[in-house]
Amino acid sequence: MSLTLLEQSLGQLACDIPGATRIFHTFKLDFCCGGHKSLLEAAAGKGLDPALIADALHRLQDTGETQHDWRNEPSELLIAHLLARYHARHREQLPELIRLARRVEQVHGARSSCPNGLADLLTDMQQELEGHMLKEEQVLFPMLQQGIGPQAAPPIQVLRFEHDQHGEALERLLALTNNITPPADACNTWRALYRGLLEFRDDLMQHIHLENNVLFVNALKPRH
């Protein structure tokens, strides 16, 4: 059984096992941009014991937890969910995170633990994400809603590449913030910033996962 888990891709496991994404976050495995890698391959890349992760996934399967499986839903429903739950949410999250990051850098910039450069990184991410989401809203999503998924391969290729860039920006964010861990004596603003960053990281990874591993995969399936 664990052999089959080890051979499956992270994206597949994230779809199949409710709560798997929590485990992937714990082990810092990228199930959204790196969702095509098998569990074995991804664990080896991070120097982790794959059996340990497979055991944790088995325990999850045994709990009988459920999650909404978007793979068999019409693309219109998934697109509506993506727009309401992630596109709108990122547009709310980023301005506030940038404001908090600027405050923390202004007040604590001299401390070695201060995430100097975070506000600029978040500003860049906001601009990249806004351009990316507009491409989806104005080009890709209307194509999929008209049922012309197979012709959407070129924009999907561009959007996957941009997802990889968002993933790289998240890696830089983690490096700047000690894996989004505030110092023990961090002030309330600093703690609020990092709580918001954790939520943004989780949301962005889930957003990319649903697009890469569900929406795009379904769109490119040959029609019989």
Contact 17, 74 (CB under 8 A): no
pLDDT in tens, 158-182: 999 999 999 999 999 999 999 999 9
Contact 37, 71 (CB under 8 A): no
- Say what the pLDDT of residue 128 is: 97
- Say what the pLDDT of residue 71 is: 87
Number of domains the chain contains: 2
173 assigned to some structural domain: yes
Average confidence (pLDDT) over 36-60: 88
Asked whether residue 164 falls in the same domain as residue 199, the answer is yes
Does 224 have pLDDT greater than 60?
no
- Say what the pLDDT of residue 63 is: 77
108 assigned to some structural domain: yes
124 assigned to some structural domain: yes
pLDDT in tens, 1-33: 445 788 888 888 888 888 888 888 888 888 888
Contact 91, 191 (CB under 8 A): no
| Residue 219's pLDDT band (cuts 50, 70, 90) | very high
Domain of 33, in residue numbers: 2-63
Q: What does the angle CA 6 – CA 11 – CA 14 come to, to the nearest 5 degrees?
A: 85
What pTM does this model have?
Answer: 0.88
| Residue 123's pLDDT band (cuts 50, 70, 90) | very high
Say which CATH number the domain at 18 has. Answer: 1.10.3910
Asked whether residue 41 falls in the same domain as residue 95, the answer is no
Asked whether residue 28 falls in the same domain as residue 119, the answer is no
133 assigned to some structural domain: yes
Mean pLDDT of the chain: 91
Asked whether residue 94 falls in the same domain as residue 177, the answer is yes
